[in-house]
Amino acid sequence: MRRDTLVSPLLVLAAGIAGVFGWSGDVLLLPIAAVFPVLWSHARTRLMAAIVASAYFLAASRGLPQGAANYYTTDLLAGVMLWLGACISFVSVHTVAWTKHSTQRPVRYLTAMILTGVPPFGITGWAHPVTAAGVLFPGWGWWGLLVMTAGLAGLVTRLWPAVAMALAGFWLWSAASWTAPALPDRWHGVDLKLGASLGRDASLRRHRELIAMVKAAAPDGKGIVVLPEAALGLWTPTTERAWMEGLQGTSLVVVAGAAIVDPGGYDSVLIEASAARGAVIYRERMPVPGSMWQPWRAWSGARDSAHAHFFANPVVAVGSHRVAPLICYEQLIVWPVLQSMLHDPDLIVAVGNGWWTNGTAIVATQRANTIAWARLFSKPLVFSFNT
């Protein structure tokens, strides 16, 4: 009894530490998340498994209360409620999957991994330990994902010490030889520091400033320049004309975030703009639940929720390149990037508008996740963020 009394708090404490350090925004620390299945499997009761899962997830997503408070310009209470609500899927799946029978745990944990990786539970499937595959097995592609999945399942068996030592060996080897994903030739990612004004300032002056930044990023007037999520604000015929005129005399192609409004709500999109045209090339598959994607509002007749296109447009064409686009929240969850990788794109383009994350590690975590996936599949990577 005394041993059980001591073990349970230690499991919870260790789960919280794994959540904090594994999802700190440092890509090479992602493998710490693999501690979670070990702790989950050592829980003595279903209730303790739920508490361990809660400690891990809440620690991993600890920036959400502050970020939500920044976004809604309110106190932390709304953010805390959103934070607690976001953990329901992860915790409920791992609570139901837990079993006291050691022979059943690998299959149960494998089921939990799959369920928290894809919709509907995967809609809030942050902090998924399988993301560490890109750190442990860079360049292994789907084989690396398979080995990582098998390794995580092995961590809930009696052989977990041997599995943990093997994974630690891969981690050390990878850390010693780590290289960042390549930047594709003639692609330029532009980071901005325009705060909450990006996408909200619809003035012609702001668009001219952005066009000047684009030209400065590619002074020879050639190549593809990427701007952050929402950079162009509402995409309208007037906006399209302004950009086409601004890019005259260059062969530049601009890929930038924008929003398109329709009678049922709006889409967060990527626009391809040049001197010849402006067109929507991508519609976000998974907008941020709660702040952007609010399907329940339609029940009261509201029409201001972002649309979720779930499994649409996993790869888009930009010139001769096949691109896997990831907008903001899509970088924190598993299925959008894996769906895109099924189509073997030439590169990954990741954009975000993280002004509301000040004081948190959310943007750093988005970057770390995306870098890990890019390294796993050996894909060049272009980032563009606004803070």
pLDDT digits (tens, 9 = 90+) for 3-24: 566 678 999 999 999 999 999 9
CA distance 317 to 331: 20
CA distance 167 to 136: 7
pLDDT band at 302 (very low <50, low <70, confident <90, very high): confident
Is 13 in the same domain as 124? yes
Task: Supply the pLDDT for residue 26.
Answer: 98
Sheet holding 347-353, edge to edge: 316-318, 321-327, 347-353, 381-386
Task: Supply the pLDDT for residue 3.
Answer: 55
C-alpha to C-alpha distances, 241 to 71, 233, 244, 329, nearest whole angstrom: 31, 14, 5, 30
Is 169 in the same domain as 196? no
How does strand 321-327 pair with strand 347-353? parallel
Distance of CA 276 to the CA centre of its chain: 32
Task: Supply the pLDDT for residue 81.
Answer: 84
Say yes or no to pLDDT of 1 above 50.
no
Is 328 in the same domain as 223? yes
182 within a domain of the structure (yes/no): no
CA distance 335 to 43: 28
CA distance 136 to 32: 11
Taking alpha carbons only, the member of 347, 337, 285, 287 closest to residue 313 is 285
Mean pLDDT of 254-277: 96
Task: Supply the pLDDT for residue 4.
Answer: 60
Is 85 in the same domain as 207? no
329 in Cβ contact with 309 (< 8 Å): no
C-alpha to C-alpha distances, 313 to 126, 131, 383, nearest whole angstrom: 22, 22, 19
Task: Answer with the one of 147, 176, 205 that is the final residue of a domain.
Answer: 176
Is 95 in the same domain as 237? no
Strand partners, 350: 326, 383
Is 160 in the same domain as 222? no
pLDDT digits (tens, 9 = 90+) for 327-385: 999 999 999 999 999 999 999 999 999 999 988 999 999 999 999 999 999 999 999 99
DSSP string, 208-259: HHHHHHHHHHSTTS-SEEE--TTTT-B--HHHHHHHHHHTTT---EEEEEEE
255 within a domain of the structure (yes/no): yes
Is 120 in the same domain as 151? yes
Task: Answer with the one of 176, 200, 231 that is the final residue of a domain.
Answer: 176
Is 215 in the same domain as 154? no
Q: At what angle do helices 2-22 and 46-60 cross, to 10 degrees?
A: 30
245 within a domain of the structure (yes/no): yes
Task: Supply the pLDDT for residue 67.
Answer: 85
How does strand 253-262 pair with strand 347-353? unpaired
Give the domain extent around 36. 2-176
pLDDT digits (tens, 9 = 90+) for 126-174: 999 999 999 999 999 999 999 999 999 999 999 999 999 999 999 999 9
30 within a domain of the structure (yes/no): yes
Is 167 in the same domain as 211? no
Task: Supply the pLDDT for residue 2.
Answer: 52
pLDDT digits (tens, 9 = 90+) for 47-95: 999 999 999 999 999 998 888 888 877 777 777 888 998 899 999 999 9
Task: Answer with the one of 134, 156, 176 that is the final residue of a domain.
Answer: 176
Q: How many domains does the chain have?
A: 2
CA distance 225 to 187: 6
363 within a domain of the structure (yes/no): yes
CA distance 190 to 213: 8
CA distance 183 to 217: 14
Task: Supply the pLDDT for residue 316.
Answer: 98
Is 72 in the same domain as 196? no
Is 16 in the same domain as 138? yes
Tokens representing residue 211 in the block: 């066009």
pLDDT digits (tens, 9 = 90+) for 187-228: 999 999 999 999 999 999 999 999 999 999 999 999 999 999
CA distance 128 to 361: 16
350 in Cβ contact with 190 (< 8 Å): no
Stronger pLDDT, 2 or 109, i.e. the higher one: 109
CA distance 122 to 321: 29
Say yes or no to pLDDT of 231 above 90.
yes
115 within a domain of the structure (yes/no): yes
201 within a domain of the structure (yes/no): yes
What is the residue whose two structure tokens read 């975590």?
A: 365
Is 90 in the same domain as 225? no
Q: What angle do CA 16, 104, 2 make, to 5 degrees?
A: 50
pLDDT digits (tens, 9 = 90+) for 267-296: 999 999 999 999 999 999 999 998 899 998
Q: Check which CATH number belongs to the domain holding 307 and give it.
A: 3.60.110.10
Tokens representing residue 123 in the block: 């809609």
Average pLDDT of every residue of the chain: 95
268 half-sphere exposure, CB direction, 13 A CA radius? 27
275 within a domain of the structure (yes/no): yes
Amino acid at position 307, single letter: H
